[in-house]
Amino acid sequence: MLVNDVPQFGAVEHPMYIKERVKKIASSLRSRSNQNGKVPFDPYKCAASFGLVVQEVPLPRAISGRLRMDLSPPTIEVKREEIRVRKHYTVCHELAHLCFFKETPALPHERGEIEKILTVQKREERICDMIAAELLMPETRFLRCAKLMDSPSFDAITSLARTFDVSIATVLQRIRETRSWSIGVLDCEIDVDNGGFHCRSKWISVCRAVRSAHLRSEISLEIARALDATERFLKTRPESIARCVNLRFRDLKVYLLRYASKNRLRAIALRHC
């Protein structure tokens, strides 16, 4: 197969149609590489089926991978230093860029407008991330696996990561996108010199099974309070950062995950729907 045979995303008439198109593109890529229903997905096999070579090379710090159409055969370069599961995601992301080989994902009012180029490029990056996630963790399959877990927990997260052969961070993002569970994540940067830390980002997602707007609001507030309490606890008990103890707040539990870099901490709040 040749690169020209890669299914094309096509014109974007409205943002609401993007998600369905992502699923169709991912399904087509799986089918053409003979991986329908296969878990975990093999991105290297998929790349080879379209005549691409994957090479591990040293890349600048801010770049995890890139698509080289100027090489023969076309090549996906991935950062040599990245962990294996990160490389898998990068290959999927770069494969997705081929789906825009003939047409960019510009909305009707953006076509031909030079000042909209950056906006369209950012949209392509987001859609490539969506395609990569759907390739590695098909939504229907992911929801079924998440539902089969006894209860939301860190062990359940690591089990999902093993099943789909992805990183914990990728599983967390997929839980957020699919709203499989009610979850909140707080990322902190540790100040090594002063012994404190500051919040880098925080997000909350409520399980899709919760239909009541009032209950969704209550659950979201409960998770937010737990994350705020976790942040206060760590500021007053900095020694807990080293131990990474887990915390319990009524109907949910907060798991503290220390990164290998030693200066980052992630608090993961999980709750039953």
pLDDT in tens, 8-20: 998 899 999 999 9
pLDDT, mean of residues 48-56:
96
For residue range 21-42, list pLDDT tens digits in order: 999 999 999 999 999 999 999 9
Percent of the chain residues past pLDDT 90, beyond the cut: 76
138 prior amide bond cis, ω within 30:
no
- Nearest 5°: the CA angle 174, 258, 270 is 45
Note the pLDDT of residue 1.
Answer: 47
Q: DSSP assignment of 6-43, as one string?
A: SPP----S-GGGHHHHHHHHHHHHHHHTT-TT-SS--H
- For residue 37, give the amino acid letter: G
- Single pTM value for the model: 0.91
Among 76-80, 124-128, 147-151, 243-247, which stretch is predicted with the lowest mean pLDDT? Answer: 243-247
* Dihedral sign for Cα atoms in the order 122, 123, 127, 130: positive
For residues 270 and 153, the answer to whether their CB atoms sit within 8 Å is yes
* Dihedral sign for Cα atoms in the order 67, 90, 184, 174: positive
**Is the model's pLDDT at 242 over the cut of 70?**
no
Distance CA 69, CA 209 (A): 44
**Is the model's pLDDT at 184 over the cut of 70?**
yes
